[in-house]
Amino acid sequence: MKPAHARPVLGVISCNRVVDDGQAAQAVMTRYLQASMQYGDTAALLIPALPGLMQAHEIVARLDGVLLTGTPSNVEPKRYGEAAEKGEGPFDPERDEMMLRLVEAMLERGKPVFGICRGFQEINVAFGGTLRRDVGAHPELTPHHGPDDQSFDKFFDHQHPVQLVRDGVLQRALGRDELDVVSVHYQGADRLGAGLKVEATAPDGVVEAFSAEVNGAPVLAVQWHPEWEAQNYPDRQAFFALLGRALRREALV
């Protein structure tokens, strides 16, 4: 039994990465953890993307919610019904597998699932949706990614506006109709998964956020990066405040 003062526990999925000395590592960018713990007032545990060594159902009882973060890898096309050769890596198939099992196990138990960037795409795939891979540079779309020759920090200077759906979770929580968001993605939602409701769109109509409720559990995901320099932006902090409320079983709005 948790002490009365204990913070809710957020599970944050890891990625399979290779560190400088060539060693395999489980990794999460610290900025996701800092924003979640500070503005969501949560404790956090990292979930290894090693589905051959652990099962999602072994750990979900210990978690109050899950966050699927952004990362450089893409979801494998076979996960949403397309030929493998159509996709462009890098891929992280072990994360894909752990993610699918984790989303299913959490929602079966009525526990919240939140997503950012790749996490947004993952949740869409988990709900049966598909992805498009051309949003980084399609000539008829709003630019969703900065030029490839920029530095890492400059990538995160790239922003565009999004329109929040009236009376949606985000619009009611933020009290705003439009946001400028950090956009760093080459892929995005194509067909939206069953039961997902649009929360925000880019000027070109590309879906930028969605929500759902499954077995009483809120699902909320954004394609943008609210964790980036969250200390300077109340609207970015608000995403993680919603995460904390969800973990505490409080109404989001």
Whole-number pLDDT of residue 139? 57
Residue 145 — very low, low, confident or very high, per pLDDT cuts 50/70/90? low
Please state which of the four CATH numbers 3.40.462.10, 3.40.50.720, 3.40.50.880, 3.40.50.2300 is assigned to the domain occupying 9-247: 3.40.50.880
Q: What is the largest CA-CA distance in the chain?
A: 55
Q: Lowest-confidence range among 100-114, 135-149, 192-206?
A: 135-149
> What is the DSSP code (8-state) at residue 8?
P
Helix (H) or strand (E) holding 162: strand 159-164
Residue 225 annotated among the catalytic residues of the structure: yes
Told to judge if 58 belongs to the known catalytic residues of this protein, a careful annotator would answer: no
Helix or strand or coil: residue 189? strand
| Of the listed ranges 20-24, 140-144, 244-248, the one predicted with least confidence | 140-144
Q: Which of 117, 122, 144, 208 is catalytic?
A: 117
pLDDT band at 157 (very low <50, low <70, confident <90, very high): confident
108 is catalytic: no
* More confident position, 227 or 1: 227
Q: Are the beta carbons of 43 and 244 closer than 8 angstroms? A: no
Tokens found for residue 141: 């779309």
In whole angstroms, give the CA distance from residue 81 to residue 216.
Answer: 29
Predicted confidence at residue 73, as pLDDT, reads 93
Alpha helical stretches, state H, 54-176: 93-108, 118-126, 152-155, 169-174
Q: What is the mean pLDDT of the chain?
A: 92
What are residue 127's phi and psi, to 5 degrees? Answer: -90, 10
Average pLDDT over residues 227-253: 96
CA–CA separation, 89 and 87 (whole Å): 7
Angle formed at CA 179 by CA 218 and CA 186, multiple of 5 degrees? 80
pTM of the model: 0.94
State residue 2's pLDDT score: 59
Copy the structure tokens of residue 70. Answer: 């952004």
- Catalytic residue, chosen from 76, 94, 199, 227, is 227
What CA–CA distance (Å, rounded) separates 247 from 102? 16
Q: Number of C-alpha atoms within 13 angstroms, CB side, residue 164?
A: 19
Question: What would the mean pLDDT of 79-104 be, rounded to a whole number?
Answer: 90
- Predicted local confidence at residue 183, as pLDDT: 85
Q: Pick the catalytic residue from 144, 160, 185, 225.
A: 225
**pLDDT for position 186:** 79
**pLDDT grade, residue 140 (50/70/90)?**
low
**Mean pLDDT score, 86-114:** 94
